[in-house]
Structures are given as C-alpha cells and as structure tokens.
Amino acid sequence: MSTRRYRPQRNWGARVLEYEYAGMRAVFLENEKLRVGVLADKGSDVIEFNYKPRDMDFVWLTAGGVRNPTSYLSTSHDDLATFLDYYPGGWQEIFPNGGAPSSHLGARFGQHGEVSNLPWDYEIVEDGERAVAVRFSVRTQKTPFRLEKTLRLRSGESGLCVEETLNNESEVPLHVMWGHHIALGCPFLEEGCKIRLPEGTIVVPHAEPIHPKGRRVKGDRSHAWPMAQGELGGTVDLSVLPERGTMSEMLYLKDLSEGWYEVENPKKRLTLRVEWDIGQMPYLWFWQEYGASGFYPWYGRHYNVGLEPFSSYPTNGIEEAVNNGTAMLVGARGKRPFSLRVRVLQSSKDGEGGGNG
C-alpha cells in the first residue's frame, strides 16, 4: 500500500493517481504528455502507455482485457493457463522463469514464472509537480528473491524511466531468467510499421515453428538483421511488419552492440523507443502474432508484436537456459541492477523516423 494515503492532490504537471481497477489497486503516473497505468495487484503490469497529445496507447490489450486473478477461476489449472488465462497484454515483468513451464532445483514454474501474477507493494517516493516516482516491490514465492523497481515520470517529458534492483535473499547462488514482456499493438501498430535495431544484430529462429503451417524465416541457421533467408526461398525483411494473416513467428535477437530499439508508424508519425541495460539483458525476444493463429488463446483476433529485453533465451524455460549457458547467475546475497527507458518520439513530417540516437 502507499505510505501516503492522504496527500496533496493536483491535476497539473507530474502527478500520481491511485485507483481501483477491476477490483485491483492501480497506480497511474501522468504528466502533460504521458499517462502510464500500472496494476499493483497483478504483476505491476503496465496496462496503459498513452501519448496524450494524440490519445495514442502503445501497449496492446488482449480481447479478454484485464481480469482480476482473485475473481476469475480458470477452467483448466495447467502451467500454461496460469499465465495466459489472466494475460491482459501490455507490459509484464518476467521472473524467474521465461517462457514455457519448467523446473529448476525442485521448483516447478508455470508459463513466464512468478512475478507477473503476484500482487506488488508500492510506495510513492517522489511527489512534486516537476517529477513523480513510485517504487514497486515483490518477493517471489517459490524462490528467495526480492525485486524492486522505481518508475519515474518528469513534467513535460514523453518518456518513462525504470530503475530496478534484484536481490537474492538466500545463501545460495541461483540461476534465473529475467525479462520485460513488452507487447505493442492496436491502435499504434499496423501493417507497414518499421523496426530499427543497432547494426550487426543477429537473428536466431526458435528451434521449432510456433505456427502449425510453418514459418517465414529459415529455421536451421542464424541471419543478419534485417534481411533473413526465407523458409521457402527468397528473403524476408523483418524490419517492416507484414500484412495481416502472416504466420506467427518467434525469433531471438543477439549480438546487439547497444541496448535500444525503435518501432515507427510512418503513417501516424510516431515512434516508440526503448533503451535498456544490455549488460544485464543482452537478448531481445521478437514475438510476432499477425492474426493467423486460429487457436487458443488468440483465435485470429490480434495483430501485435512483442519486443522483449531478456537475460536469457529461448522461450523454453529456466532449465534450458541453464543448460545452454544463458541463464543469469545471481550470487549468494547478490544484487543485480537494471535500468530501462521508454519514450515516444513524434516526427514533424510524413516518413521522418525517430532516429537511432
């Protein structure tokens, strides 16, 4: 809970607003340009990242929308449904298991681990019209970790800053997977949007196709971004989003020289730029769902991508990440810091991108 229940309120500059949203505690950080909504009672999920001058929300919400885990009983208690049946879209913290259900050191994890379904505590640590900041924290249930993150929004800026610390509260060095599951979709995302990444980025396909009809990108080799060899010949330009109905794909981007990406909508003259500490999260997962999946849980209803900074890969769970040497090792009583920034860039004319800074 906030430690400042009765505090001065204002409707200008930077401000923090506390609400009940679908029966859950929610915190909104807001200024003249951005409104960022965070579900404290479910994973600290970011369910709104709205650029106010254009009323443009960048994070995508599923057809099912936000559901309160305490008021909705899943009809199938399996390791996959524990995440997907409550998945609202948007932006989740993923820890300590990434992707498929997996076991490690006797603990069994469901899809995407623990913290995305846990309630988080929060405290308003800065509350002035020039800047606001909220610290969220959670302790995991199956593992001995405490995760803290501070979201900060400054007056007049169109960017959100995130500073985190991961604490191992045990006497045992432990492997983990840690990532940010950032999903973008309607109304910002559409066919023809462009993705920019640092030069030299390498594309690694998932071992198996995630769509029953196959894949676009040839799966038995790595590729240089953005032109990948096609599974059926030719090349695939991964930097331009394809037409609706294109097969789903799961790719991993590695060897990034810097931790940033940009997604531009040339028609709307808007770009989302994400920058992060590549030392802690050297991989970028590229999940693509273009409306061709006529099965659970999408049923052809969505056009979205996930561009997700991660400590490890692939999306097969912690056991495989340990075996392939990409799992993050946190020492006994050890700490890992992490920082991330997300900002909106607006072009002055058609076709002008946000730049690669």
pLDDT in tens, 64-94: 888 888 777 777 677 787 788 878 889 999 9
Block residue for tokens 């309630």: 119
Residue pair 112/99 in contact (Cβ under 8 Å)? The answer is: yes
Asked whether residue 49 carries a pLDDT value surpassing 70, the answer given is: yes
Contact 39, 21 (CB under 8 A): yes
**Residue 354 in this model has a pLDDT that exceeds 60:** no
Which has more confidence, 72 or 188?
Answer: 188
Q: pLDDT value at position 147?
A: 98
Distance CA 59, CA 188 (A): 8
pLDDT class of 135 with cuts at 50, 70, 90: very high
Listed in sequence order, the residues at least 6 apart from 308 whose beta carbon sits closer than 8 Å to its beta carbon are 94, 179, 180, 181, 182, 284, 285, 286, 287
Rounded mean pLDDT of 33-44?
97
What is the structure's pLDDT at 349? 59
Q: Is the confidence at residue 355, as pLDDT, over 50?
A: no
Of 111, 13, 25, 110, whose CA–CA distance to 68 is shortest? 25
Class of the CATH-defined domain 15-346 = mainly beta
Using the predicted structure, report yes or no on whether residue 124 has a pLDDT greater than 80: yes
List the alpha helices (DSSP H) in 34-123: 81-84
Question: Closest Cα partner for 215 from 151, 279, 286, 270?
Answer: 286
Average pLDDT, the chain: 92
Q: What are the structural domain ranges in the chain?
A: 15-346
Amino acid letter for position 127: D
> pLDDT of 230-287, one tens digit each?
999 999 999 999 999 999 999 999 999 999 999 999 999 999 999 999 999 999 999 9
User: SS3 string of 322-337?
Assistant: HHHCCCEEECCCCEEE
Q: pLDDT category, 357, cuts 50, 70, 90?
A: very low
Tens of pLDDT along 299-329? 999 999 999 999 999 999 999 999 999 999 9
What was the pLDDT predicted at 79? 77
Q: Which residue has the tokens 């593992």?
A: 143
The predicted-structure confidence for 149-172, as pLDDT tens digits, reads as follows: 999 999 999 999 999 999 999 999
pLDDT at 53 over 90: yes
Q: Which of 157, 44, 31 minimizes the C-alpha distance to 91?
A: 44
Q: Is the pTM of this model over 0.95?
A: no
Q: Which two tokens stand for residue 244?
A: 């609706």
Share of the chain above pLDDT 90, in %: 82
